[in-house]
Structure formats: C-alpha cells, structure tokens
A and B are shown apart, each in its own frame.
Chain A
C-alpha cells in the first residue's frame, strides 16, 4: 500500500497529506516531485492543495503541463484512484481529467473555515465507507473555489451520480446560505466518468484528528485504503 503525494513548486498541503497518511493511517506515503515522469508502483495518487506555480495565469493552469501529469493521466486511464484536494481539484479541471472549472469565490474573499458537506455518492473508492446523506464537517481554504460548468455538463454529472459532495447546512439542507463560494448547485466535489478521479475543494487531510476540530475527513482516506487493499487482493 503506497500513496504518492505530488509536489509542485508552491504546493503547501503536501506535508499535511503525508503526515495524515503516515501518522494517522500508518500507510506508506511518498512525495513525488512534479518533474518525475512515472507514478508506477503507487496505489493512490494525491494532488494536494496549495498555490502551484503561484497560481500564475490561472489556478492549476501551469501545473497541468508538468511532466508528472502525463503519468497521472495514464494512471487515471488505468483506474488508479486520484484524489485532488483544493489546488489539486483545480489542476484536475485544468488537465481535463474532470469537467468544469473553479473560479473566484462569489464574494471575492479567501475563505478559511469549517463547512458542512453532504455525501451524495458512496460507491466511489473515496467514499465507500460512508452513507448517502451523511454530513461531514471539513475545512475549506480557498479564494478560487467556486465550481462552474455549463448546464449540460452539470446535468450529465447529476444523472450519473458524479456529484460526490455538496455544501449543506449542519442539518444537511442544500441552501444558498450553506454555499460558501457560489459553486453551481452547491457542488464541493465531483468524480470522473469512471469514478476513480475525485476533485474536492474542502481539505479532508486537515480533518482526521478530533483535536484538529473534526475527524470527518478520515472517511476519504479510510475508504481509499480499503479500496486499495481490496484491489490488491
């Protein structure tokens, strides 16, 4: 069981991901520099948050062309689970591995606080230990987290169960007030067509120990570890 945590110039959640995987889940996790051309031998690939290449041009626009992303694209086609968190989600959208784009938050502010998420699909490698409708409390930290896609794309996502998480109230209601950044249809996380690529703006790696205010993020990593063990056997 081996996790890769990609590292671009400007990534700043790579250590959080490595620490969570190593210390909380006791699995092997290695940083992988963006100039590497292979991700062979890894069971799961994590693209962490941060400001890759200083968010120059657009968030994730330059990271998309890093050499490692060619290998990530091949791994995605082979079915390797790929988790993109925050800037990782932006990179996946820029790469075309996920549809849509992430734009400036509706009210322009950088928002750093805990939000509530409703789990919408528990059949993915990232959510298999959860139940539909389950409410998670996980922090967000972003300035460009407003998910946007055209209506046809959104309808396709919805019809195929590809909205994995939505922003909700404490009670699980999907309301405008519970939407921190203006994302269309309160979308916080989506999966690709094959279900093995997840992008989400909230940071599950920052919510895996109760002393950090929440351990609801464990669901994502525990599901991934179970999935990887299951695939290997």
Chain B
C-alpha cells in the first residue's frame, strides 16, 4: 500500500520560498508565473493494513502538517 500526503502553506500564510521560486521562474523567461507555493510530499509505503480514514486524518493533522499554517491532502496511490 502506498499513501501520498501533500502539504502546502495555507493561502493566508506568507510563503517566502514560493515568492523566491516565482522570482526565479521569471529569470527563466516566464513573465508572470503568478502565485507559487512550496510545500512537501510525504510518501508512505506500508506493508501493513491501511489505517482507516479517521486515523489517516489524525496523522496528517497532528504530525505531518501544522493546521495553523498548512493544509494537507492525501491519496491512496496503491492499495
């Protein structure tokens, strides 16, 4: 089983990494890349049973993301 968790800064939080990355895209000739946010992907490959949805949400909310500043989504890539 493979689960992929995506964590991104909330739109209301200043993301200086995203701003710097957008600036660099302009150096590559993309004149107006718009808003860029830099987050992280956490991939979990587990030989065991898949936790239920509530448990997965709890793991994402309490450890993998900080709900004050970040949003998360997860997808089951392989079941």
Interface on A for B, CB 8 Å cutoff? 57-58, 61, 65, 93-94, 99-101, 103-108, 146, 148-150, 182
**Total cross-chain contacts (CB, 8 A):** 37
A94→B14 contact, CB < 8 A: no
Given A108-B20, A148-B13, A103-B63 contact (CB < 8 Å) = no
Structural contact, B68 and A61, CB atoms closer than 8 A: no
Cα A217 to Cα B14 with chains together (Å): 30
Name the contact of A108 in the complex, choosing from B9, B16, B63 (C-beta under 8 A).
B16
Complex partner residue of B66 from A101, A104, A107, CB under 8 angstroms: A101
Contact flags B27-71 to A (C-beta < 8 A → 1, else 0): 000000000000000000000000000000000000110101100
B79 on interface, CB distance cutoff 8 Å: no
Q: Which of B9, B14, B68 contacts A106 (CB 8 A)?
A: B14
Residues of A within 8 A of B13 (CB): 103, 148
B64 and A57 contacting across the interface, CB-CB below 8 Å? yes
Q: Which residues of A contact B69 (CB under 8 A)?
A: 101, 103, 148
A-side interface mostly: loop
- Are the CB atoms of B16 and A149 closer together than 8 Å? no
CB closest chain-A residue, reference B17: A104
Contact residue among A93, A103, A149 (Cβ-Cβ distance under 8 Å from B14): A103
Q: Closest approach, in angstroms, between the C-beta of A156 and any C-beta of chain B?
A: 14
In the assembled complex, the Cα of A58 lies from the Cα of B63 at a distance in Å of 9
> What are 22 pairs between A and B in contact, CB < 8 Å?
A57-B63, A57-B64, A58-B66, A61-B63, A61-B66, A65-B63, A93-B68, A99-B68, A100-B68, A101-B68, A101-B69, A103-B9, A103-B13, A104-B16, A105-B16, A108-B17, A108-B20, A146-B14, A148-B13, A149-B68, A150-B68, A182-B16
